[in-house]
Structure 1
Amino acid sequence: MRISFDWLKTLIPTDKPATEIGALLTGSGLEVESLEELESIPGGLRGVVLGTVLTCDAHPDADKLSLTTVDVGDAEPRQIVCGAPNVAAGQRVVVALEGATLYPAQGEPFKIKKSKIRGAASEGMICAEDEIGLGTSHAGIMVLETELPNGTPAADYFGLGSDTVFEIGLTPNRADAASHYGVARELRALLRQPCHLPDTSAFQASASAAANIGVTIEDATACPRYAGLLLENVQVGPSPEWLQRRLRSIGLSPINNVVDVTNFVLHELGQPLHAFDADQITGSQIRVKRAEAGEKFVTLDGVERSLKADDLVIADAHGAPMALAGVFGGKTSGVSDATTRVFLESAYFGPAAVRRTSQTHQLKTDASFRFERGTDPNMVPVALQRAALLLQEVAGATVAAPVVDEYSAPVQPATVRLRLPRVERLVGQHIAPERIRQILTDLDIVITDENRDEGDQATWLLSVPPHKVDVTREADIIEEILRIYGYNNVALRPNNSASYLAKFPNPDPEVTRLKIATLLSGQGFSEILTNSLTNSQYFDKEGEADESLVRILNYNSVDLNAMRPTLLHSGLEIIRHNINRRQRDLKLYEFGKIYQQTAEGKYHEKTKLVIYLTGNATAETWQHKSEKATFHDLAGAVQQVLAALGFGGAASQPVQHPYLAGGLTLLVHNQPVAQLGAVAASVLKRLDVTQPVWYAELDWDALSKKYKPTLVARELPKFPEVRRDLSLVVDASVTFDQLRQIAQRTEKKLLQSVNVFDVYAGENLGAGKKSYSVSFTLQDFTQTLSEQAIDQVMQRLIGQFEKQAGALIRK
């Protein structure tokens, strides 16, 4: 949202600089993302002043040049060579001084330098209007009629002030600030300075109702208030310069004086208006009604639209739509160059009705932006009167009838209870009741009862004006107080402390997540963040819809029409994007939610941690060749994550995953917590990924729930560890994890670790056989192990391998 500082100062006068105002707004929650300086003409005529030609003589060496002396307010006159035919002594002229940069109406900018022209020194330039960008004439220099002293900046003479535009990142909850007056109200509380609405006291409605246009509201829920005014003798044409300048300052292009006035009032007061050609309103009757399903309507952009039964429309006496209420006007009823009678609409439409129509027809306008978030029903007549006065000024309009204002059930202010001790508790600092009262008053929040005592808590009853659509609870009121009080004014207490030895049985989930993110980033992985919306076609099979998919009813794009049931596809889109730009070696991870729908129609969401590996695992150097990423690279990263969470040595079993072609499922306490393997070729082909991808999916919810941070410490062992190796021939179906579990069950005291350092399969072993070379680390923390004790342990291990795994021990 763009806010003009000059425009803003017409509503709340202030001498504070724009940078300070921007900082105040940002501190209160209206984040000023940028400040842009605007100039009426490029360069702002900096370095250009008024002067008087003292003497004018012919140049001694050039017939068409004059040698002049000009008083520009300095101690000494300046000598300037001028080629204009109309230059003469005694003239008041515009002079560009040395160092000034001029931006001519045509051609490139140029800088004025001290120079010699045909041997005569020239210390500036006497300017024509096209040379300084004020016009197109080059017939001669500008000759002024003014009493302003020499040296006066030319920008002051021509009224070319500069403006500053605030680019505000308006959050959805701040609909009350979606206008210049809304921002002025905010500054009123921040500056403790009054602001005012534009003066509409001069508005007078006509007493004659003979030719008026009637209004009937057929759906008061979708349109609680509708006001209108008939204007005649309207002369449609270009807007005056001041109005065009205001609109251009906030990025709008002027159209004509009628449309420009409606846009001006919208951005000034936050109240959308619409102008109808009154002669196109059949039957001189406005009906605010629901559309007929399937009826056709051509909007202002020339597009024919098929309306839905829940679209709210502005129709004529016969029910023919003339506008989509609060969204977009119709082509036939809009103002044209031939329009002389205008019916001006100012209404309050329900946010839900406007949002539904806007989403259905994919129409986003300045009006729908405000109606969707909630406008002020009390601003409806003010905006109507403001627009009528402006149209009288810029289009010669006359008021032809009384104001029509249908408002059967006025919107009431919200009543909110505020407990003063609750303010201190949520803010973290005591704020004096007097200061709270002052802030609430500045925000138009009325204290209707401040003498209520509920137990030992002082409680106030508040009346919140309708324009604060997001302030409905006590917490919202406290947020309003804190915004104006200032977040930076909440001091950290000098005695804030926490014991690092304290035990926290429930770890902070964000701290846990940061711990794992730091671990993965330290291993060279990059964190990504993908869209929660995805394409439903990824999951529908052979024309059959996936019933578990959470589909979006009012989606903006067919490519983003469902909530993702897995993070895999959105991650593959990132990988594809990088591969297509020759970034093939990728190590990525993401924390994100997935969404599913049960057969009973209930919705569930889960948090996952996913890891991707593709391309080379290591870069090529003069010492090492590059190596492709493998399953074991991925498994190593997953094992490190589990170990960091205290789940080392997880059991495994073959993976059962719809998008993986082989891999493992890791279990903690017999519960699956991770699935990892190679992404199936069919999935890669569907997403146009041209190289293999290794993928791991961890159940972050389950891991976070089981994770309990513990610190285990023991003294360094005094006695040495011992390693023994075995070569085991087993069936090809036996995994190393099964052998590891057998060993751990067999020897729980002395066995410290089990590792496989070689796997072999060959014809000499026989069909369906393979050999594992396994190392065992044994250690006793109380004494040195004897050979007899070591042999006993190894014999027990061999016996159990033979019994439980059918192993043959190779000698």
Structure 2
Amino acid sequence: MEISYKWLQEYIELPELPEVVGKILTGTGLEVEGVEKIDAIPGGLEGVVIGEVLTCSRHPDADKLSLTTVDVGAEQPLPIVCGAPNVAAGQKVIVALVGATLHPSSGEPFQIKKAKIRGAASEGMICAEDEIGLGASHAGIMVLDTDLPNGTPAARYFNLEADYQIAIGLTPNRIDAASHFGTARDLKAVLNRPLTMPSVDGFSVDNQDRTLNVRVDDVVACPRYTGLTISGLTVQESPDWLKQRLLSIGLNPINNVVDVTNFVCHDLGQPLHAFDADKIAGNEIIVQTLPEGTPFVTLDGVERKLTATDLMICDAEKPMCIAGVFGGQNSGVTSHTTSIFLESAYFSPASVRKTAQHHGLKTDASFRFERGTDPNMPVFALKRAALLIQDVAGGVVSSDITDLYPTPIDPFRVQVRYKNIDRLIGIQIDRTEIHRILSALDIEADEVNAESFIAVVPAYRVDVTREADVIEEILRIYGLDNVPLSVHLAADTLSEFPKVDPNQWQSRVGQLLAANGFYEILTLSLTRPAYNDAIRSTLTGADVTLLNPLSEELSVMRQSLLFSSLETLVYNINRRQKDLKTFEFGKIYSQTQSEDGSTKYVEKMRLSLALVGNQEAESWQQKAQSVAYHDLATSVQRVLNLFRIKQIDTQPADPSLFQYGLTYLVNKKPLVSLGLVQPKLAKLVDLKQPVFYADFDWNALLKLANSKSRYEEVPRFPEVRRDLSLVLDKAVTFEQIRRLAHQTERKLLRSINVFDVYEGENLGSGKKSYSVSFTLQDPTQTLTDATIDKTMQRLISGFERELSAVIRK
């Protein structure tokens, strides 16, 4: 919403600069999004002042030029060469100073510079009206009749001082401020200054020669309808003041009658509509609904099919306007109009909103009506508009005011307790100040006592219907900045932001997996009891059983995502989609008994991955290769890397679930289990192919999430690799080797990797050989052979002592 600074000044004294006014409005809740300077004409006559010609003589070298000295309020008069035939000493003239940019009525803008004309110095320009964009005449310079002092800006003389457009991001609940009057009401309250309302005392009815019969059939959709006729007017271009007012808020002038209705809408917040009275059939206005599907052509030339709930303004024969939304093509004001019926009404917000949304029409009128206008404004706005129309278009008021208002809308009555004001605001505001603020907001106090009072809220404040709303009104005018912060305030008092956003992490992991060829699945939480029974030994709680299951197959809540994934794989494999990689975020459910015998229901979030079939489709470049454990392990590691989890321990996965696999632990707590699903579990869903499956404890994963990035300097010294072949008992795992190596060498050992495993008769019964590489690096210096040998010997001794390893040469 745009507000004009100069327009506001007609309602309230505003010595403050526009930017300051913007800050005040923002403090009251009317957030100002920007303040833009609006020049009345291009350039705004900046650098153009009133001057007085002190001397004038002919130029010695040019018959048509004059040498003048001009007083422009400076210390010294300016020498100016002038070519106008009517320049003379003693004249008050318009002077463009050096540096001013002029925007002539025709041609390109140009800047005034110091010059020498035929050898004479000239430090300015005495202007004609076309040279400053105020007319077309170039017959001579403008000669003024004014007592204004020399140096006065010309914009002030011509009443062309710059305006400022204040853009307010109006929230839907503050429709009461959708006008200059409404905005001024807030300034009145916060600045404690009086408002100057436009006078309608001059309104009078001249005759009853054009009285119309008005009938409202739907008083629910139209609680109040007012109107009058004006005859003998002339539709023409609006005067400059009216056009400037509309242009200052971004509206294009149309004609004097329509411009007045738009002006009043943005002045008082009351939309109006003018009908050509000669086009009203039967001398009758009927406010009613029409049958479903009735065609109606609106002002934009579009034929629309009306609904049975669209409220229409009709005459005796036809619809003329969609009430509160848009006018009709054949009833509006044109250049031939001489008489009008001027409408000012209060329409039901729900009715207007429904109609505007159905037809996709958003107008200044519907914007206000659908949020709730002031039901007590129509008559005042009607008189205001009638006086303005008579001023700019002539004519006489040719009917009494019709005012159909069968059931007046009462103000809201809200009980307010002083203790709640103090509690919600956080401080105790003086009771006198509370009532001053409310009175300034037109909220009366009734039944006042020591504990409470009844706030009588005017009907135009549709957003103030509860005690908290009234308290909010007090606070926004008192000023949130005037409420001191607590002396015990700490940084964490102001706001608490979640360290880990589960939704954000779920999105990041999903994107990672999708980028690596996985498809997300979403499955039912209901499952077969046999599935939970098959993994009962791994479960810690009892089943959650439905009291009224749809079927035996869906009678319990799942305790694992495993069978949901397996069923999805079977469904796709049966449709010849055999190479699959899936993931699922889902909950599992169980119940436990508390010590007091009550039942506690538990929900846990899990993440599952499943692989089946081939890694890639078969092609001429390579043969198909089945997925393997390490394909799954790589994907699991990518997820852990995303969370920056590096320090993990491992143990064999639960054999009830996996034929083989590992469980990763962090701080001795299980984080994820992965491996080859036991064939007997796969057979429960008729799946015959090997399936690799991983099950993450999602909540545990989130607790380890670290959103902070860590940076390290690129190592300046090279790393070194050394290899060992270790003959060990078959029972010894690589994890034991890795753990022992890091325990033995904590400073230089960067990584350890197994690159070959060998088993054979020549090693002896129950033996195997690991070929292991060790990467060593010192961030402070280059490793010497002596240091490397010493480190490797320490590792060898540890393997021989702890694992009974034999080093192969």
Same fold (TM over 0.5): yes
TM range (shorter): 0.5 to 0.7
1:121 deviates by: 1.6
Residue correspondence of structure 1 range 617-632 to structure 2 within 5 A = 629-630=515-516
Q: Secondary structure at the match of 2:448?
A: strand
Q: Which residue of 1 aligns with 2:434?
A: 436
Q: Which residue of 1 aligns with 2:529?
A: none
Deviates more, 1:59-68 or 1:404-413: 59-68
Q: Is the 8 A contact 2:659 2:675 kept in 1?
A: no
1:350 deviates by: 0.2
Deviates more, 1:747-756 or 1:110-119: 747-756
Q: Is the 8 A contact 2:561 2:608 kept in 1?
A: no
Q: Deviations over 1:201-236 (max 9, x none)?
A: 11123564x641111111111000000111111111
Q: Secondary structure at the match of 1:386?
A: helix
Normalised by the length of structure 1, the TM-score is: 0.67
Q: Deviations over 1:121-149 (max 9, x none)?
A: 21111212222222222233222333333
Q: Which residue of 2 aligns with 1:515?
A: 500
Deviates more, 1:104-113 or 1:479-488: 104-113
Residue correspondence of structure 1 range 32-181 to structure 2 within 5 A = 32-181=32-181
Normalised by the length of structure 2, the TM-score is: 0.67
Write the distance in 2 (CA, Å) between the matches of 1:668 and 1:219: 54
Q: Which residue of 2 aligns with 1:299?
A: 298
Q: Which residue of 2 aligns with 1:579?
A: none
Q: Is the 8 A contact 1:274 1:344 kept in 2?
A: yes
Pick closer, same or farther for the CA change 1:450–1:780 going to 2, 3 Å.
farther
1:363 deviates by: 0.7
Counterpart residue type for residue 450 of structure 1 = V
Instruction: Answer yes or no: is 1:472 the counterpart of 2:470.
Output: no
Q: Which residue of 2 aligns with 1:200?
A: 200
Write the distance in 2 (CA, Å) between the matches of 1:273 and 1:217: 17
1:401 deviates by: 1.3
Write the distance in 2 (CA, Å) between the matches of 1:276 and 1:739: 86
Instruction: Answer yes or no: is 1:422 the counterpart of 2:408.
Output: no
1:675 deviates by: 6.8
Q: Which residue of 2 aligns with 1:280?
A: 279
Write the distance in 2 (CA, Å) between the matches of 1:339 and 1:57: 56
Q: Deviations over 1:67-118 (max 9, x none)?
A: 3322333333322222334333443322212222222223332222222223
Q: Secondary structure at the match of 2:368?
A: helix
Write the distance in 1 (CA, Å) between the matches of 2:509 and 2:129: 66
Q: Which residue of 2 aligns with 1:445?
A: 443
Q: Which residue of 2 aligns with 1:395?
A: 393
Q: Which residue of 1 aligns with 2:600?
A: none
Q: Quote the RMSD (CA, aligned, Å).
A: 4.2
Counterpart residue type for residue 288 of structure 1 = V
Q: Which residue of 2 aligns with 1:376?
A: 374
Q: Is the 8 A contact 1:262 1:273 kept in 2?
A: yes
Instruction: Answer yes or no: is 1:664 the counterpart of 2:583.
Output: yes
Pick closer, same or farther for the CA change 1:725–1:332 going to 2, 3 Å.
closer
Counterpart residue type for residue 150 of structure 2 = N
Pick closer, same or farther for the CA change 1:751–1:17 going to 2, 3 Å.
closer
Q: Is the 8 A contact 1:751 1:779 kept in 2?
A: no
Counterpart residue type for residue 445 of structure 1 = I
Write the distance in 2 (CA, Å) between the matches of 1:240 and 1:137: 20
Write the distance in 2 (CA, Å) between the matches of 1:249 and 1:509: 41
1:19 deviates by: 2.0
Q: Which residue of 1 aligns with 2:697?
A: none
Q: Deviations over 1:361-405 (max 9, x none)?
A: 111100000000000000010001101111111111211111100
Pick closer, same or farther for the CA change 1:104–1:609 going to 2, 3 Å.
same
Q: Which residue of 1 aligns with 2:231?
A: 232
1:415 deviates by: 1.1
Write the distance in 1 (CA, Å) between the matches of 2:8 and 2:252: 19
Q: Deviations over 1:41-76 (max 9, x none)?
A: 222222222223333333344444333322333333
1:153 deviates by: 2.3
Write the distance in 2 (CA, Å) between the matches of 1:722 and 1:365: 67
Counterpart residue type for residue 465 of structure 1 = P
Q: Which residue of 1 aligns with 2:794?
A: none
Write the distance in 2 (CA, Å) between the matches of 1:779 and 1:98: 85
Write the distance in 2 (CA, Å) between the matches of 1:325 and 1:416: 32
Q: Deviations over 1:666-718 (max 9, x none)?
A: 5665656447799xxxxxxxxxxxxxxxxxxxxxxxxxxxxxxxxxxxxxx9x
Q: Secondary structure at the match of 2:307?
A: coil
Q: Is the 8 A contact 2:412 2:459 kept in 1?
A: yes
* Paired-residue identity, %: 50
1:302 deviates by: 1.2
Pick closer, same or farther for the CA change 1:609–1:413 going to 2, 3 Å.
farther
Q: Which residue of 2 aligns with 1:462?
A: 455
Gaps of 5+ in 1: 501-507, 518-588, 592-607, 618-627, 636-649, 679-716, 759-766, 786-808
Q: Which residue of 1 aligns with 2:216?
A: 217
1:265 deviates by: 0.6
Q: Which residue of 1 aligns with 2:341?
A: 343
Counterpart residue type for residue 663 of structure 1 = T
Q: Deviations over 1:238-266 (max 9, x none)?
A: 11111111111111111111101111110
Residue correspondence of structure 1 range 246-645 to structure 2 within 5 A = 246-318=245-317, 320-451=318-449, 458-496=451-489, 511-512=497-498, 514-516=499-501, 609=507, 613=511, 629-630=515-516
Report how many residues are paired.
602
Q: Secondary structure at the match of 1:86?
A: coil
1:467 deviates by: 0.4
Write the distance in 2 (CA, Å) between the matches of 1:755 and 1:674: 11
Write the distance in 1 (CA, Å) between the matches of 2:408 and 2:210: 27
Pick closer, same or farther for the CA change 1:282–1:31 going to 2, 3 Å.
same
Counterpart residue type for residue 664 of structure 1 = F
Write the distance in 2 (CA, Å) between the matches of 1:633 and 1:769: 19
Write the distance in 2 (CA, Å) between the matches of 1:110 and 1:291: 60
Write the distance in 2 (CA, Å) between the matches of 1:131 and 1:399: 43
Q: Deviations over 1:254-301 (max 9, x none)?
A: 111110111111001000100011111111111111121111111111
Pick closer, same or farther for the CA change 1:141–1:23 going to 2, 3 Å.
same
Q: Secondary structure at the match of 2:377?
A: helix
Pick closer, same or farther for the CA change 1:140–1:220 going to 2, 3 Å.
same
1:750 deviates by: 8.6
1:753 deviates by: 8.7
Pick closer, same or farther for the CA change 1:68–1:611 going to 2, 3 Å.
farther
Pick closer, same or farther for the CA change 1:63–1:207 going to 2, 3 Å.
closer
Query: If you compute each CA radius of gyration, which structure gives the higher value, 1 or 2?
Result: 2
Pick closer, same or farther for the CA change 1:672–1:62 going to 2, 3 Å.
same
Write the distance in 1 (CA, Å) between the matches of 2:323 and 2:368: 13
Counterpart residue type for residue 229 of structure 2 = L
Q: Is the 8 A contact 1:723 1:778 kept in 2?
A: no
1:722 deviates by: 9.6
Q: Secondary structure at the match of 1:33?
A: strand
Q: Which residue of 2 aligns with 1:5?
A: 5
Q: Which residue of 1 aligns with 2:187?
A: 187
Q: Secondary structure at the match of 1:515?
A: coil
Q: Deviations over 1:405-463 (max 9, x none)?
A: 00000001111111111111111222222221111111111111113x7xxxx121121
Counterpart residue type for residue 68 of structure 1 = T
Counterpart residue type for residue 250 of structure 1 = I
1:610 deviates by: 6.4
Q: Is the 8 A contact 1:412 1:466 kept in 2?
A: yes
Gaps of 5+ in 2: 522-559, 590-603, 612-646, 677-687, 694-731, 745-767, 771-809
Q: Is the 8 A contact 2:562 2:608 kept in 1?
A: no
Write the distance in 1 (CA, Å) between the matches of 2:266 and 2:649: 81
Pick closer, same or farther for the CA change 1:750–1:325 going to 2, 3 Å.
closer
1:197 deviates by: 2.5
